[in-house]
Structure 1
Amino acid sequence: INQTLVMFGQTVLPISEEQVQTAGEALYIAGSTIFTMITAMIAWFKNNYVTYKGQLQKDALKQRGLTK
């Protein structure tokens, strides 16, 4: 945004390099946390018999003695 303002001769936004780095770090941490949470939920969902189809699979495995 600042670069565009400079190109059109407008005053730049008063943002320091430290503020940009702090915002970048905060976005990185937030993004990493969200990615980790979503990945964990997908892994949990895929590794458990949550859906109706999954329950049928679990019952079929039990009938054949393939589960604990």
Structure 2
Amino acid sequence: MIADYLKHNIDDPEWRIAREWNYWIEIERLADQPEKIREMSEQYCNLKDTALFPFQNRWPEEVSGWL
């Protein structure tokens, strides 16, 4: 999901407001789960400190697994 988000821009012919709305809904759901935010924050820090591959490539994959 997150990796898909990074691929689309408003000038892309495949861009749709519905997709953006669905991303926002996911953010709202996450905002209502402070324990999950804490766990994701810990994972973010751990991954950033220990990543052998470029961090920016791995984090979207990690987030997709959480959501």
Higher relative contact order (CA 8 A, sep 6+): 2
Give your verdict on TM over 0.5.
Answer: no
Which of 1 and 2 has greater Rg?
1
If the length of structure 1 is used for normalisation, what is the TM-score? 0.31
